[in-house]
Chain A
Amino acid sequence: MKKGYVSSLPLPEFRLWKKAVEGRPLFSFDFDLTARCNNNCRHCYINLPAGDAAAKGRELSLAEIARIASEAASLGAFWCLLSGGEPLLREDFADVYILLKKKGLLVSVFSNAALIGPEHVRLFKAYPPRDVEVSVYGVTRETYEKVTRISGSFAAFLKGLDLLLGSGVKVRLKAMALRSNVHEFPAIAAFCRARTKDYFRFDPFLHLRYDGDEARNAEIRAERLAPEDIVRLERADPDRFRELRKKCGIRPGAGLGWNAPVPLFTCGAGLESFSLGYDGQFRLCSSLAHPDCVYDLQKGGLREAWRTLVPRVRGLASERPDFLKTCPSCPVIGLCQWCPALAYLESGKMDVPVEFFCGTARARAEALGSGQGLDKRE
């Protein structure tokens, strides 16, 4: 541009982006627009039926969303991830989406694509999202619908995905790895990579439900892959396995001493982002549902939550001797998915180990050739 008065840069090279990544307070938030979903996936931690009137009644109104988004933008938020449930189930999805864009937010959307229609394509072409990330549960009708438990969902997914891909909207694909689809996981990965050149990710770590529904939690546990199967998938993905290798030897909490209180939160929860539930619950991250760690934004302001709740929660520490002898001093904690939020979903306590994660961390360590000296917790 003329004489350098104005400059443009790709987002990752943008100075504010760099500052944010380096730890500027409040950069982004994710927002579960609804807990309702048109699918009924076996592994889902949040889904409620599409027609669940009670769940719909608890959803934030457009006016409440506008207020919270304004506060978020005034605190510096730059990026919003719209998720769910299935966010397109909201009849006012387009209004919410444009509202967030007009606050100057970059917006990403997570969707199963089954509800994508020409009106969504028009919306996304006119007001481009940062990206639309679509979940792929299978690449055959049999497998896909075994996961979603909705007849016709595979055809709807393919139709919606084709609409998106044909529109030029930036699409990313991801997959959850579970027992019901693991037999065709190589085909799922190939399907995704063939359609999104630069990006594919998968997640084998099914976590339990926010609402604690025991019957649904039993279904989720039944869908979890065995640790060795998780590691087998990871080994088949060279980029992912390379990243895993970098984590070897990282021991957050090491050296703190077994008798000293150990900070529970060594992750990034609440450092530069937060999570907004469909019912207005503020959380440091989407999984942190402990009642002492949430704040109702239908009753109070975001600024208050950000300034008071976040430091209080991040200051939580454990002094329980049983815990101090496990995760904080575990030699493979760097390979472990354990965190206090997921521990709470598993057990109702934030400072307990989770065997599912322990087993996977051990299997990862063995696969990486660093299995010596592991803390076997049988």
Chain B
Amino acid sequence: MTDRTGLDRIFKPSEEIVAREIEGELIIVPLTAGIGDIEDELFTFNASGRAIWKGLDGRKPLKAIIGELAAQFEGDPEEIEEDVLGLVEELVKRRIVVEVV
């Protein structure tokens, strides 16, 4: 995974979704077809996923996000790296985020 994405890569929310915050909850609403597996499918994050999502802002490379999260949560950087890369891979696959080139 690390080789495929690289920690210097930068990601941002895709234009195929709308991220909304309603009543304190972050919701990803698909705008175009094929984002969800079923019709009327929405996405939301748990606290950790939400922290990662906030970093995917089109400016920060993944390594910066991992560093911030490791400092913020005092977690094992290797474990956090694995989680960030895993989530990003999933979000890319679903066209929820895109790489900034």
In the complex, A16 Cα to B45 Cα: how many Å? 13
Q: Are B25 and A2 in contact (CB under 8 A)?
A: no
- Choose one: A7, A104, A128; the contact of B39 (CB below 8 Å): A128
CB distance from B85 to the nearest CB of A (A): 9
* Binary B-proximity of A5-22 (CB < 8 A = 1, otherwise 0): 111111110111001000
Number of interface residues of A (CB under 8 A): 32
Query: Taking the complex as formed, is A246 at the interface, i.e. its CB lies under 8 A from any CB of chain B?
Result: no
In the complex, A19 Cα to B86 Cα: how many Å? 31
Q: Are A16 and B23 in contact (CB under 8 A)?
A: yes
CB distance from A37 to the nearest CB of B (A): 28
Residues of B within 8 A of A10 (CB): 38, 40-41
Query: Taking the complex as formed, is A78 at the interface, i.e. its CB lies under 8 A from any CB of chain B?
Result: yes
Query: Taking the complex as formed, is A1 at the interface, i.e. its CB lies under 8 A from any CB of chain B?
Result: yes
Q: Are A5 and B43 in contact (CB under 8 A)?
A: no
Q: Are A3 and B42 in contact (CB under 8 A)?
A: no
Q: Are B39 and A2 in contact (CB under 8 A)?
A: no
Chain A interface SS verdict (over half)? mixed
Residues of B within 8 A of A106 (CB): 29, 40
In the complex, A14 Cα to B20 Cα: how many Å? 14
In the complex, A351 Cα to B40 Cα: how many Å? 40
Residues of B within 8 A of A103 (CB): 18
Residues of B within 8 A of A5 (CB): 45-46, 48-49, 52, 83, 87
In the complex, A329 Cα to B83 Cα: how many Å? 62
Q: Are A7 and B43 in contact (CB under 8 A)?
A: yes
CB distance from B42 to the nearest CB of A (A): 6
Assuming A24-B23, A102-B18, is B33 touching A6 (CB within 8 A)?
Answer: no
CB distance from A24 to the nearest CB of B (A): 7
- Choose one: A6, A102, A130; the contact of B91 (CB below 8 Å): A6
Q: Are A130 and B33 in contact (CB under 8 A)?
A: no
CB distance from A358 to the nearest CB of B (A): 39
Number of interface residues of B (CB under 8 A): 33
Assuming A10-B38, A126-B32, A128-B39, is B46 touching A4 (CB within 8 A)?
Answer: yes
Query: Taking the complex as formed, is A199 at the interface, i.e. its CB lies under 8 A from any CB of chain B?
Result: no
In the complex, the chain A residue whose C-beta lies closest to that of B36 is A8
Residues of A within 8 A of B27 (CB): 16, 104
Q: Which of A51-77 contact B (CB under 8 A)?
A: 73, 76
In the complex, A128 Cα to B40 Cα: how many Å? 9
Residues of B within 8 A of A14 (CB): 42, 44
Query: Taking the complex as formed, is A193 at the interface, i.e. its CB lies under 8 A from any CB of chain B?
Result: no
In the complex, A210 Cα to B99 Cα: how many Å? 51
* Binary B-proximity of A315-334 (CB < 8 A = 1, otherwise 0): 00000000000000000000
Residues of B within 8 A of A102 (CB): 18, 31
* Binary A-proximity of B74-101 (CB < 8 A = 1, otherwise 0): 0000000001001101110000000000
Query: Taking the complex as formed, is B37 at the interface, i.e. its CB lies under 8 A from any CB of chain A?
Result: yes
Query: Taking the complex as formed, is A303 at the interface, i.e. its CB lies under 8 A from any CB of chain B?
Result: no
Q: Are B41 and A8 in contact (CB under 8 A)?
A: yes
Q: Are B83 and A2 in contact (CB under 8 A)?
A: yes
CB distance from A44 to the nearest CB of B (A): 30
In the complex, A126 Cα to B83 Cα: how many Å? 32
CB distance from B46 to the nearest CB of A (A): 6
CB distance from B22 to the nearest CB of A (A): 5
In the complex, A128 Cα to B90 Cα: how many Å? 22
In the complex, A170 Cα to B41 Cα: how many Å? 14
- Choose one: B23, B39, B45; the contact of A19 (CB below 8 Å): B23
Q: Are B18 and A2 in contact (CB under 8 A)?
A: no
* Binary B-proximity of A120-164 (CB < 8 A = 1, otherwise 0): 000001111010000000000000000000000000000000000
Assuming A102-B18, A125-B33, is B41 touching A6 (CB within 8 A)?
Answer: no
Residues of B within 8 A of A101 (CB): 18, 31
Interface positions of A (Cβ within 8 A of B): 1-12, 14-16, 19, 24, 73, 76, 78, 101-106, 125-128, 130, 170
Closest 7 interchain pairs by CB?
A: A5-B49, A2-B86, A11-B40, A104-B18, A104-B20, A104-B29, A6-B49
10 A–B contacts, CB within 8 A, in A order: A2-B83, A2-B89, A5-B45, A7-B45, A8-B36, A8-B37, A9-B44, A16-B23, A16-B27, A126-B32
